[in-house]
Amino acid sequence: MDLASQLRGCLSLAVPKKGRLHEQCLSLLKGADLVFRRKNRLDIAMVQKLPVVIVFLPAADIAKFVGDGNVDMGMTGEDMIAEAGVDGKVIRIAELGFGKCKLQVQVPQDDGPKTVEELVGGRIVTSFKTLAEKYFAEIDKRVLTEEELKEGKGTKIQYVSGSVEVACALGLADGVVDLVESGETMRAAGLHAISTILSTQAILIGNKHPSNPELVTKISSRILGVVASQKYVLLNYNIERVHLKQATLITPGRRAPTISPLEEGDWVEVQAMVLKDEVARKMDELQTVGAHDILVFNISNCRV
Ligand SMILES: Nc1ncnc2c1ncn2[C@@H]1O[C@H](COP(=O)(O)OP(=O)(O)OP(=O)(O)O)[C@@H](O)[C@H]1O
Ligand SMILES: O=P(O)(O)OC[C@H]1O[C@H](OP(=O)(O)OP(=O)(O)O)[C@H](O)[C@@H]1O
Ligand SMILES: [Mg+2]
């Protein structure tokens, strides 16, 4: 059977073919048991046991493809959705908890402008042309007269596809608009941020009119389960019943904690899901209210 016939009737799910989100998206697919074999050089792979096809695309194209209905579902950055202008055309199914960074206006650290208003009329280089144009259009409107705007004295935005941060050093720009996570790239180029346009993370999106809505629900809940299992741990502890009320205020669980009586005296065992980020603090608090034998378990998968 040729590739086109194989794909007919399949639900399509796009993931970034390279870059910062690639590995973590693949690990989500693995956790959701969406197993596939990708042939060398082919950007399409059939999932085993389900009528689903994985499509490998540049992160920047995924938002547009899902918005236009060429692909049913996709994983990409929220920044890409905003840049593609498809917010209203896609369903935001779930935040994925990785790919967290900010889109910021950056200028030379030593002699650069101190505010974005000082950049008005200057040259900006970016890979986010639409967002940068929208952002500076508003500032231009505030700072310049209508006459000046008509004379073309507004801020000029130039597109480059990567290595944005070198533009100032090369004398091509007075400032850049680029993503910042640790700030290492920005500092290495002698830049610092003077404003944040948006905060972003990876997100699972869907088209509003998918080819197979039941399958979208199934795939979404599998992926949501993996995301939740990465976000939470299971906390287990023993406590005397007299202290139970205080303890369950600390660990209320997602719905409610599971409480089982112990053979010994008036003790109970409590089990509750806790956010990974909060587990150390919760353990400290539990100890102070009299909990013992506090154990933490990783969750390998779940449905919430
Ligand atoms: N430093 C970072 N930290 C966290 N997330 C990031 C970072 N850089 C980019 N991202 C996220 O990943 C998405 C894709 O960016 P990425 O740079 O991986 O793509 P690319 O530029 O197409 O790939 P490459 O940089 O390999 O050419 C961005 O839209 C953003 O959501
Ligand atoms: O704040 P940091 O942790 O340094 O991360 C920010 C950098 O990460 C991305 O670049 P990427 O590695 O994708 O390279 P690119 O600029 O060539 O796309 C982004 O464009 C920044 O340059
Ligand atoms: Mg990049």
- At 19, which CATH number? 3.40.190.10
If asked whether residues 25 and 105 sit together in one domain, one would say: no
DSSP conformation letters of 24-55 = HHHHHHHHTT--B-PPTT-SEEEBTTSSEEEE
80 pocket-lining for ligand 1 (C-beta < 6 Å): yes
Range of the domain at 181: 101-200
For residue 42, being part of any structural domain is answered with yes
pLDDT in tens, 274-284: 999 999 999 99
Ligand 1 atom with the shortest distance to the CA of 77: 31
171 pocket-lining for ligand 1 (C-beta < 6 Å): no
With cut-offs at 50, 70 and 90, classify the pLDDT of residue 228: very high
Give the integer Cα–Cα distance in Å for 14 and 63. Answer: 9
CATH code of the domain containing 293: 3.30.70.120
Percent of the chain past pLDDT 70, that is, above it, reads 99
Ligand 2 atom with the shortest distance to the CA of 184: 4
pLDDT computed for residue 3 by the predictor: 67
If asked whether residues 129 and 170 sit together in one domain, one would say: yes
Q: Which of 125, 176, 179 to mutate to test the pocket of ligand 2 (most atoms within 8 A of CB)?
A: 179
pLDDT computed for residue 18 by the predictor: 96
* Domain final residue, candidates 177, 211, 245: 211
With cut-offs at 50, 70 and 90, classify the pLDDT of residue 1: low
- The complex's ipTM works out to 0.96
In order of 29, 64, 83, the CA distances from 77 in angstroms are: 17, 12, 10
pLDDT in tens, 95-146: 999 999 999 999 999 988 999 999 999 999 999 999 999 999 999 999 999 9
**Is residue 245 pLDDT above 90, yes or no?**
yes
Ligand 2 atom with the shortest distance to the CA of 180: 1
pLDDT in tens, 167-188: 999 999 999 999 999 999 999 9
Q: Report the pLDDT averaged over residues 148-160.
A: 96
Average per-residue pLDDT in the chain? 95
With cut-offs at 50, 70 and 90, classify the pLDDT of residue 265: confident
Give the integer Cα–Cα distance in Å for 33 and 18. Answer: 21
pLDDT computed for residue 299 by the predictor: 94
Total domains in the chain come to 3
